[in-house]
Amino acid sequence: MADLSSFDITKRWPAQNPDVIQLYSLPTPNGVKVSIMLEETGLDYEPHLINIGEDETWTPEFLSLNPNGKIPAIIDPNGPNGEPLGLFESGAIIQYLAEKTGKFLPADPAKRIEAIQWVYFQMGGLGPILGQLGFFHKFAGKEIEDKRPLDRYRKESKRLLGVLETRLEGRDWIMGDEYTIADIASLGWVRNLIGFYDAGDLVDYEEFKNVPAWLERGLERPAVQRGVNIPTRD
- For 40-73, write each residue's pLDDT tens digit: 999 999 999 999 999 999 999 999 999 999 999 9
Task: Provide the β-strand partners of residue 76.
Answer: 85
> What is the average pLDDT across 8-31?
98
- SS3 of 160, please? helix
Q: In what order do the strands lie in the sheet with 45-49?
A: 45-49, 21-25, 73-76, 85-88
Residues 131, 164, single domain; the answer is yes
Residues 79, 144, single domain; the answer is no
What type of residue sits at position 90? S
Question: Residue 139's pLDDT is what?
Answer: 84
Domain boundary among 51, 69, 103: 103
> What is the average pLDDT across 167-185?
98
Question: φ and ψ at 49, to 5 degrees?
Answer: -75, 125
CB 171 within 8 A of CB 158: no
Q: Is 1 domain-assigned?
A: no
Question: Residue 145's pLDDT is what?
Answer: 87
Question: Residue 233's pLDDT is what?
Answer: 86
Q: Is 119 domain-assigned?
A: yes
Total structural domains within the chain:
2
Using a cut of 0.75, tell me whether the model's pTM lies above it.
Answer: yes
Distance, in Å, from the CA atom of 135 to the CA atom of 138, rounded to the nearest integer, reads 6
19: CATH: 3.40.30.10
Q: What value, to the nearest 5°, has the Cα angle with vertex 26 and ends 100 and 47?
A: 55
> What is the average pLDDT across 18-34?
98
Q: What are the residue ranges of helices labelled H in the chain?
A: 9-12, 31-41, 60-65, 90-101, 109-121, 127-138, 148-167, 181-194, 210-219, 222-227
The whole domain housing 98 covers: 9-103
Does the N-terminal peptide bond of residue 29 adopt cis geometry, omega within 30 degrees of 0? no
Q: What is the mean pLDDT of the chain?
A: 97
Residues 116, 220, single domain; the answer is yes
> What is the average pLDDT across 187-199?
97
For residue 234, is pLDDT > 90? no
- SS3 of 73, please? strand
Domain boundary among 62, 86, 103: 103
Weakest-pLDDT range from 19-28, 130-139, 202-211 = 130-139
| Nearest alpha carbon to residue 187 among 122, 124, 133, 140 | 122
For residue 183, is pLDDT > 80? yes
Domain boundary among 103, 135, 163: 103
Question: φ and ψ at 24, to 5 degrees?
Answer: -115, 110
Question: Residue 52's pLDDT is what?
Answer: 95
Residues 115, 220, single domain; the answer is yes
Neighbours of 92 (CB within 10 A): 13
Residues 115, 87, single domain; the answer is no
For residue 161, is pLDDT > 80? yes
For residue 164, is pLDDT > 80? yes
Residues 44, 121, single domain; the answer is no
Cβ-in-10-Å burial (0-12, 13-18, 19+) of 160 comes to buried
